[in-house]
Amino acid sequence: MRPEILFALFQPATNLKGVGPRVAALLDRLGASRVLDLIWLLPSGVIDRGYRPKLEDAETGRVATIDVTVTEHRAGRGRQPYRVIVTDGTASAALVFFNPRRDWLEQTYPPGARRLISGRIDRYGDALQMAHPDYAVDPAAGEEIPAIEPVYPLTAGLAPKTLRHIVARAAAQAPDLPEWLDPALKERHGFPAWRDAVRSVHAPERATAIESTPALRRLAYDELLANQLALSLVRRRLKRRGGRRLQGDGRIAEKVRQGLRWELTGAQRRVLAEILEDMASPHRMMRLIQGDVGSGKTVVALLAAAAAVEAGTQAALMVPTEVLARQHARTLVDLAGDAGLRIACLTGRDKTQARRTILRDLNEGRIDLLVGTHALFQEGVDFHDLGLVIVDEQHRFGVHQRMLLSEKSERPADILVMTATPIPRTLAMTAYGDMDVSRIDERPPGRAAVDTRVVSAERLDDVIERLSAAMDRGDRAYWICPLVEETEDSELAAAEQRHRELRQRFGDRVGLVHGRMRAEDKDMALQRFADGDATLLVATTVVEVGVDVPEATIIVIEEADRFGLAQLHQLRGRVGRGDRPGVCLLIYRPPLGETARARLRTLRETDDGFRIAEEDYRLRGAGELLGTRQSGLPGMRLAAIDRDQDLMEIAHDDARLIVETDPELRKERGRALRILLYLFERDAAIRYLESG
């Protein structure tokens, strides 16, 4: 149960003065429906209003606060703005307003009145002006203008001043919490107490970048520590439940190997050895395999499943989509050959009788390896003895989901996660901090690199002609668009519009799939493409993962300069998966910006996913790697990977040490850390702790 000391922070924002239903609806758009959300709503910058020159000395382009007297009003004609003329005795300036309320202006700026105004000083010709001053108050009320003002992200209808006052009221609710930081760490980094950090972030005393202040660094570290501690507690709970030795005799795995048309690479053998060592130990395996597109993760997973079956247990493979589940099942049956593995696939499309048969065989142990979507861990899917859980494309699933699946048996199952998105170490610690990590960093022999070319949108007709010739030869192709439909304020190509245009040329051979389609319609469109009923698939990035069509040899990516490197690499990996080489055409609209040029150049120069991931991380931060906000960390609001790598490393080590020295969080610091976990809504970790 959440500690009482935190109750005020989890109250709705409507408990604060000035937040009625209308303002609350606007705050919801900012993701700030509670007091705590407002505290976590960090300023995007600060405005220094401490510059107070005379008008004759005022520098243009700067925010200035000036004591002036109103001399006259000049109403504009036609589309001309309204001007209020002011002076401070050294010079005059015009306060410029577009479409103002006349009565408000006359009340705010009566001729002859003194006003303390604050805003950006500019020039129009030789005349000084200030467009829509941010503040205009009686000099006697000058304290209403902050010397240093935090600036927050806004939404239409919410005035900056209103939001600033509401956030200040929220920050005032911050309680004095017990200290959970290590004293030496706190002193070394100059971190303030938690409540002081909250108030300092929202009421800065200097016009320095908030990101570099000890206050924000402290809050970012708190969030990183909460995340790492939660993952460490989950890891400990899984380990404490113990595991069992799953050591096969190799009879099935050897038959699988003999049936392969190629030898395993050195990287595959190394990673497989790490997996088998984990499975043979008495501890529960929790291992992540990072493998680039086409590196052979599926074969490694199959051999791991074979070891589990040899040991007398079953295995499950969970994937993101029904289409991929069926594709994986077919691939695994083909790879297993006559090794004797009984493989089945369970999806939402299975008819009632077929589903009943699969569930009965699964429960009675007549299925060795079951492939499916997240439906595998739903009620009613009961394994006879589940020993190994394999999760493909793990960043589509959460830590709690993989735990639910792994607990489908009375004895804890080993967990093996596979991702085709190479991830820098710092980010891997955040997303997979409860797991050991292996890398398949070698490409199987015979897998050719995809021929990648950068093409101007001005040559789109040539691209379509080339596509037509390839389709006539029996090739299949993807056409990737960044948006679903046209919008008035966007020039990006839209999938639906492009689909209509290409259908005029190619007829029913063109399919369409995007994220706004119903799941069954999406699966049907993908299945038509996989079956060859459609030979050109127009799509958004929903095909980035989870689609395996070996006959696809061409991928056209429109507006490629708008995508991140890692995403482009994943999309490129959709082609060249069969026995024919693939071609990737990156379409861009000139002129290219420097970052976009570097991105496309990198993609042309290399197909090494690990190098690409590091370069994408350098250019764009974590957002493209795990689908999180730019430069952010998954599920986090305060920490940023490009800024807080050092803090992540410290938090990772600190959390491991805490769990080693006070695993139940019963000591003085441990009790404070429980509050930290509740504060950052890692309540599940507390539940795992209490359940042992």
Which residues partner with 130 through β-bridges?
Answer: 95
Is there a domain that residue 626 lies in?
no
CB atoms within 10 A of CB 239: 15
Sorted by sequence, the CB contacts under 8 Å of residue 344 that are 6+ apart come out as 329, 358, 361, 362, 367, 369, 370, 371
- The string of pLDDT tens digits covering residues 149-185 is 999 988 888 988 899 999 999 999 999 999 999 999 9
Tokens of 672: 């404070």
Asked if 361 and 324 sit in the same domain, the reply is: yes
What token pair was written down for 361? Answer: 């065989």
Q: What is the pLDDT of residue 445?
A: 67
Determine the pLDDT at residue 378: 77
Cα–Cα distance for residue pair 436/288, rounded to 1 Å: 6
Last residue of a domain, one of 128, 145, 162: 145
Structure tokens at 130: 């200030």
| Residue 196 belongs to a domain | yes
Give the residue from 64, 66, 97 showing the smallest Cα distance to 80: 97
Angular region, 468: left φ>0, alpha ψ -120 to 50, beta rest: alpha
Residues 271 and 418 in one domain: yes
User: Cα torsion at 251, 252, 253, 257 (round to 10°)?
Assistant: 100
Integer angstrom CA distances of residue 687 from 228, 237, 481, 619, 684: 16, 10, 44, 39, 5
Would 522 be classed as within a structural domain?
Answer: yes
Q: What is the mean pLDDT of each run of 10 residues along the chain (692 residues)?
A: 94 95 94 95 91 95 96 89 95 93 92 96 93 94 90 88 94 96 96 97 84 92 92 76 84 92 90 95 87 84 96 92 83 89 86 87 96 82 92 62 59 84 63 75 72 91 92 92 60 77 93 83 87 91 72 91 82 82 90 81 80 67 36 64 83 92 94 96 80 62
Are both 28 and 57 inside the same structural domain? no
**CA distance linking residue 293 with residue 610, whole number of Å:** 10
Are residue 495 and residue 381 in the same domain, yes or no?
no
Identify whether residues 200 and 343 lie together within a single domain: no
Where residue 393 falls (left for φ over 0; alpha for ψ -120 to 50; beta otherwise) is left
- CATH number reported for the structural domain that contains residue 314 in this entry: 3.40.50.300
Closest CA to 2 of 683, 689, 687, 685: 683
Domain contains 672? no
Report pLDDT for 99: 85
Residue 123 domain boundaries: 50-145
Strand intervals (E) in 272-360: 286-291, 314-318, 343-346
Tens of pLDDT, residue by residue over 545-568, are 657 788 899 999 998 888 878 788
> What is the full DSSP assignment across 194-240?
HHHHHHHHHS-SS-S-GGGSHHHHHHHHHHHHHHHHHHHHHHHHHHH
Residue 289 shares a structural domain with residue 319 = yes
Name 133's bridge partners. Answer: none
Determine the pLDDT at residue 342: 96
Q: Is 343 strand, coil or helix?
A: strand
Count of domains in the chain? 4
pLDDT, position 631 = 33
What is the pTM (predicted TM-score) of this model?
0.66
Last residue of a domain, one of 558, 588, 606: 606
Same domain for 469 and 596: yes
With H, G, I as helix, E, B as strand and everything else as coil, classify residue 628: coil
Q: Are residues 333 and 430 in the same domain?
A: yes
683 within a domain of the structure (yes/no): no
Q: Is 599 contained in some domain?
A: yes
**Are residues 501 and 432 part of one domain?**
no
- Same-domain status, 263 and 352: yes
Whether residue 527 lies inside any domain: the answer is: yes
Q: Are residues 330 and 403 in the same domain?
A: yes
171/127 same-domain check: no
